[in-house]
């Protein structure tokens, strides 16, 4: 099963590093420079920001402030 991670920071890296084999991992971020799949392993892919995630499971790994403009917890 494929996993899509929306986010490219430390949390996304930690989850992506433990979650699955890299060839089943897609990384998505609004920052194209940070949305590189290489740190997650050979075979990981980079999804386009705004596109529908391709994974069977989608993990949202962004700061709360990035979701609703709310303050950090």
Neighbours of 41 (CB within 10 A): 14
Q: Note the pLDDT of residue 12.
A: 83
**CA–CA separation, 9 vs 34, rounded Å?**
8
Residues 6+ apart with CB under 8 A from 51: 28
pLDDT per position as a tens digit, 15-73: 877 765 767 788 888 877 776 666 666 677 888 888 899 889 998 988 776 555 555 54
Q: Note the pLDDT of residue 22.
A: 67
Tell me which long-range contacts 29-36 makes (C-beta under 8 A, separation of at least 24): 34/8, 34/9, 35/8, 36/8
Q: Note the pLDDT of residue 28.
A: 84
């Amino acid at each position: 099963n494929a996993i899509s991670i929306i986010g490219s920071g430390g949390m996304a890296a930690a989850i992506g590093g433990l979650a699955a084999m890299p060839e089943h991992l897609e990384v998505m971020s609004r920052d194209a420079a940070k949305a590189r799949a290489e740190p997650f392993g050979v075979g990981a892919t980079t999804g386009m920001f705004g596109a529908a995630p391709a994974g069977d499971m989608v993990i949202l790994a962004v700061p709360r402030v990035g979701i609703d403009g709310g303050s950090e917890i």
